[in-house]
Structure formats: C-alpha cells, structure tokens
C-alpha cells in the first residue's frame, strides 16, 4: 500500500489532518478492505510526524472502526469499515421537490441564503456570547454534573420576568418555563392542550414546521389567510363557528413568512372572536425583539387564560446556543414543568447561564438595538431592488427579518428555487409555507442575506431565465 505525503495546513492539528486523509482514502476505496498499512516507522517517515502524533491518529481511526490492529502484525483497513452514509441516507429521505428545498433551509447549505431563516453569523455579537460563555464556565454556580432545574434556571427566569414586564406582560416567575427551543416548547404544549382529532387553526401562509409538528399529534388543521388587514374577519368567524378549533397557533408580531404584525384593532377583533368560540391561542413570538416599535403582544392584551406565550432567542441571538421559554397560566406551567421531567426535556443550564448573563449585563439589549437598526436599513434596500425586478410586495415592511414578495407574472417559485439551489443559492418559495396553489408565485426573502449585490445579480439572472422559459 502506498501512503502519499500530506500537505499539512497550519492552524489545524496534524492528528486531525491525518485522520481526515486516511478516512478519505478508506471511504473512496483507495485503500481496499483488509489491506495492510505500512509500519509505524515507515508512516512516520513518509508523513514527517512523530510516533506520538501518528499513534494518536491511528487510535482515533480504530475508534471509528476504520482500522483494526493485530499484535505484532500492524494495522489493517477494517473489512467491515463503515461506508460514508451521506448518499444512501439522502436517498432514503423524501425526494419530492418541496422536501429537497426544505432541507437546506434548516442546515448550512450554499454560500448565498436569501431564503434562510436566521441572521448571518457576522451580524451576531459573537464576542458578547463568548464573554458570557467564559463567565458562565468560571462561575462556581454552574453545575457540571446533574440536571438543570426542571422549570429553568431561576436567575434567568427572573431576568425574563423583568423583560416581559417591560413589554406589558406581568407574570409570576413560576409561570415562566424554559425549553430547549420553541419547536420543543410547542410540541410539549400540543401534548398538553390537544388530543388526536382536535381541530387547530393556522395562518396561511405560515412557518412550514407548524404543519409538520401538528401532523405528529394527529390533529385536524384548518387555515385562514393572513392578509395586510389581518383577516377577513367575517370569514374567520364563520370558520370558528363551523370547525370549532380548540387552538389557534399564530405569530402576532413579525409573522413568518409575511412579516405582518397585527394592529391593535386587528388584535382586539381577533381576541374577541377567539374568546367567543372558546379557542385558546398559542402565541409564537420568536421575532418580536426584531421589531423597532413592537405593539403589545396578544398575551399582554388578553391574559394567560386565553393566550399561552412562546418565545426564544434563536433568531435574535444565536441558533446554536438557543434557549426558549413558555409563559402560561399557573396550572399549565406546572404541567409543563412535570412534562419536562418526564420527557427528558430539561434545558441546558450552560446555555441558560449564557443567556442570563447577556440579559442581566445589558449586552443583549445593545445587540438587539443594533440588529433592529441594521435590519431596517437592509430591508429598505432589499425592498427597492425587489420592486425593480418586477416583484410585488403585498405586506408593508415593518422591520424584522422577512419580506414577502409576489414574483412577476408567469414565474413559478418552485422552479426558481430549484434552479437557484443548483447554483448554491437557497431560496424559500411560497409553496413551502402552505398548500394554497395561489402561493406558487410567492417567495420569502431574508433581508439580512438578500442585501448583497451578488445575491441580487444572481436572482435577477435566474428571474430573467424563468421569464424566458417556455
């Protein structure tokens, strides 16, 4: 067996580079199963590394079941070494167009992400997060062993209590329960508030994971169109009277994907109707901190007997150190705490400590202020170039992350997104956010990722190609 020299890259441990190079040789079949590697002495000479470095790399490869060793005989490529699962795994996943387009929205894919759901990393206050992380790790109060507090770290919940009070929602700290993320928070609430066969009301369009999550609970979904004026309230009343949904899941401030925010009059009418027909609201407020002048939340207007409040920091702070929380009526909060214990849903205390420090020390408030201003400026520029491309913007941009656009006549959003994905650009066509055929020529744009000349240029080129297509 021939082992070629490795062009080691400064800054990356040589052990890691050896492991990656040997793994690639095995995965590609360059090294056949069962073949014998050169001796340790020969390998150290060929690679120009110490025996210690080489042995550590070989041990890691054995740990991955890529190599085996035999006393006195050396190292061999494992006969049953695991083959790279990426291609086979992808083939096992749903291959319909919408599933293919949905996956890169949830993962890092492509260097241009105007359809993405998070802020670019260079927009985030990474220094403040790292500083909070260092402080949390040094603090003797951080418990390395054991579980976090079932309801959530008390100092964090007290900081959240103060934050909510500033937003017009005064609650006892016992009514605030942390969750690992908003989707898990919603999942636990659905288990507590709904039963299979119940009817749940959703906006259309809406965040695509809402449909996926509700399907897991076996509920029946009915939808009402989200419009610039809120709703056709006559149609909403008829829907409530006919279907009697037990829950309504919505976003009142900076709705995903449209960016729409309920006006006070729209919120009042909505609360009046849902109370009349005994429909409890779950208010997902994941984007509210990105609004320059957010109106009162539904939970603040109606109280927690009618509205359960769900929020988090994955959009405004970091998707990778996320902590979310639920604010609920006392009995529901107690039931949620018990469910966290029973289902293993305890939130990471390290992440809770990081968020607590950022809230209590003021770095989160400063970061939020910068993000709001930056999004407003980017949104104004993105609005202009989308209109120049012939797109119609049915919802006025009020701030936040998203602009909802109607593509020029004759352009199919799914076709456009499929063509863009082949060129490393991730778009979010309207078909991802509901089943209404009228959404086929709509698209959600993340203003933070769309405020780049190269993104605009590629989108315009694809749009021109779509208009010329038969």
Confidence of residue 108 (pLDDT cuts 50, 70, 90): low
Examine the domain organization and report whether 283 and 193 are in the same domain. yes
pLDDT at 467 (0 to 100)? 83
pLDDT at 89 (0 to 100)? 52
Examine the domain organization and report whether 444 and 312 are in the same domain. no
Examine the domain organization and report whether 53 and 191 are in the same domain. no
pLDDT at 292 (0 to 100)? 96
pLDDT at 10 over 90: no
Confidence of residue 346 (pLDDT cuts 50, 70, 90): confident
Confidence of residue 5 (pLDDT cuts 50, 70, 90): confident
Examine the domain organization and report whether 328 and 344 are in the same domain. yes
Confidence of residue 178 (pLDDT cuts 50, 70, 90): very high
Sign for the pseudo-dihedral over CA of 138, 143, 147, 148? negative
Containing structural domain, residue 397: 97-122+366-467
pLDDT at 469 over 80: no
- CATH label of the domain that carries residue 54: 1.10.10.10
Examine the domain organization and report whether 277 and 187 are in the same domain. yes
Summarised one tens digit per residue, pLDDT across range 444-463 is 999 999 999 999 999 999 99
Those residues with Cβ within 8 angstroms of residue 142's Cβ, 6 or more apart along the chain or in another chain: 136, 349, 350, 353
Q: What is the overall mean pLDDT for the chain?
A: 90
Examine the domain organization and report whether 289 and 313 are in the same domain. yes
Query: Per the structure block, which two tokens stand in for 410?
Result: 């004759």
Lowest mean pLDDT across 60-64, 272-276, 351-355, 363-367: 60-64
Of residues 386 and 345, more confidence is placed in 386
Summarised one tens digit per residue, pLDDT across range 249-305 is 999 999 999 999 999 999 999 999 999 999 999 999 999 999 999 999 999 999 999
- Evaluate whether 171 touches 297 at the Cβ level (below 8 Å): no
pLDDT at 460 (0 to 100)? 94
173-210 burial code (b ≥16 CB/10 A, e <16): eebbbbbbbbbbbbbbbbeebbeeebbbbbbbbbbbbb
Terminal C-alpha separation, the chain:
55
* Distance set, CA 211 to CA 125, 135, 285, 432 (Å): 32, 39, 17, 10
Residue 4 located in a structural domain = no
Residue 456 located in a structural domain = yes
- Looking at the chain, the whole-number percentage of residues with pLDDT higher than 70 is 94
- CATH label of the domain that carries residue 105: 3.90.1150.10
- CA 245, CA 275: separation in Å to the nearest integer? 12
Examine the domain organization and report whether 338 and 374 are in the same domain. no
pLDDT at 110 over 70: no
Those residues with Cβ within 8 angstroms of residue 65's Cβ, 6 or more apart along the chain or in another chain: 78, 80, 81, 82
pLDDT at 133 over 80: yes
Burial of 159: CB neighbours in 10 Å, binned 0-12, 13-18, 19+? buried
Question: Could you say which DSSP state residue 230 is in?
Answer: B
Examine the domain organization and report whether 337 and 449 are in the same domain. no
Residue 5 located in a structural domain = no
Summarised one tens digit per residue, pLDDT across range 223-256 is 999 999 999 999 999 999 999 999 999 999 999 9
- Evaluate whether 322 touches 351 at the Cβ level (below 8 Å): yes
pLDDT at 34 over 80: yes
Summarised one tens digit per residue, pLDDT across range 116-129 is 999 988 898 889 99
Examine the domain organization and report whether 72 and 220 are in the same domain. no
Residue 280 located in a structural domain = yes
User: What ranges in 204-246 are assigned the alpha helix state H?
Assistant: 208-216, 233-243
113-133 burial code (b ≥16 CB/10 A, e <16): bbbbbbbeeebbbeebbebbb
Q: How many structural domains does the chain have?
A: 3
pLDDT at 194 (0 to 100)? 96
SS3 207: coil
- CA 283, CA 164: separation in Å to the nearest integer? 14
Q: Which of 361, 390, 420 is the last residue before a domain boundary?
A: 361
Strands (E), 106-198: 176-179
Residue 7 located in a structural domain = no
Those residues with Cβ within 8 angstroms of residue 353's Cβ, 6 or more apart along the chain or in another chain: 132, 136, 139, 141, 142, 153, 156
Summarised one tens digit per residue, pLDDT across range 387-443 is 999 999 999 999 999 999 999 998 999 999 999 988 889 999 999 998 888 888 999
Examine the domain organization and report whether 26 and 50 are in the same domain. yes
Examine the domain organization and report whether 245 and 319 are in the same domain. yes
Residue 85 located in a structural domain = no
Examine the domain organization and report whether 251 and 337 are in the same domain. yes
């Amino acid at each position: 067996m021939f082992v070629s020299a490795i062009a080691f890259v400064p800054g990356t441990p040589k052990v890691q580079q050896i492991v990656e190079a040997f793994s690639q040789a095995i995965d590609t079949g360059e090294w056949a199963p069962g073949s014998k590697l050169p001796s340790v002495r020969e390998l150290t000479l060929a690679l120009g590394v110490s025996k210690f470095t080489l042995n550590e790399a070989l041990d890691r490869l054995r740990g991955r079941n890529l190599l085996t060793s035999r006393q006195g005989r050396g190292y061999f490529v494992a006969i049953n070494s695991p083959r790279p699962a990426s291609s086979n795994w992808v083939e096992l996943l749903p291959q319909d167009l919408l599933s293919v387009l949905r996956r890169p929205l949830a993962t890092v894919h492509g260097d241009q992400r105007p359809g993405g759901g998070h802020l670019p990393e260079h927009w985030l206050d990474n220094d403040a997060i790292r500083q909070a992380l260092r402080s949390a790790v040094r603090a003797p109060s951080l418990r390395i062993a054991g579980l976090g507090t079932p309801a959530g770290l008390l100092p964090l919940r007290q900081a959240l209590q103060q934050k909510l009070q500033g937003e017009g929602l005064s609650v006892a700290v016992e009514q605030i329960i942390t969750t690992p993320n908003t989707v898990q928070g919603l999942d636990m609430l659905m288990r507590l508030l709904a039963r299979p066969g119940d009817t749940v009301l959703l906006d259309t369009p809406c965040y695509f994971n809402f449909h996926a999550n509700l399907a897991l609970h076996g509920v029946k979904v009915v939808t009402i169109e989200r419009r610039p004026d809120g709703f056709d309230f006559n149609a909403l009343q008829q829907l409530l009277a006919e279907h009697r949904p037990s829950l309504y899941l919505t976003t009142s401030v900076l709705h995903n994907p449209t960016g729409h925010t309920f006006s006070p009059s729209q919120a009042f009418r909505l609360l009046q109707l849902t109370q009349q027909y005994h429909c409890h609201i779950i208010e997902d407020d994941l984007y509210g901190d990105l609004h320059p002048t957010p109106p009162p939340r539904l939970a603040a207007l109606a109280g927690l007997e009618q509205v359960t409040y769900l929020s988090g920091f994955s959009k405004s702070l970091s998707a990778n150190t996320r902590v979310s929380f639920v604010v609920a009526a006392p009995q529901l909060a107690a039931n949620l705490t018990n469910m966290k214990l029973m289902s293993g849903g305890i939130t990471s205390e390290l992440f809770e400590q990081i968020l607590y420090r950022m809230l209590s020390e003021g770095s989160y408030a400063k970061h939020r202020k910068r993000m709001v201003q930056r999004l407003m400026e980017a949104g104004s520029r993105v609005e202009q170039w989308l209109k120049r491309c012939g797109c119609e913007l049915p919802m006025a941009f009020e701030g936040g992350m998203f602009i909802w656009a109607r593509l020029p006549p004759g352009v199919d959003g799914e076709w456009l997104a499929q063509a863009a994905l082949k060129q490393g650009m991730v778009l979010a066509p309207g078909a991802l956010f509901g089943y209404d055929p009228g959404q086929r020529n709509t698209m959600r744009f993340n203003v933070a990722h769309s405020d780049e000349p190269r993104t605009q240029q590629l989108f315009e080129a694809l749009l021109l190609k779509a208009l010329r297509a038969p």
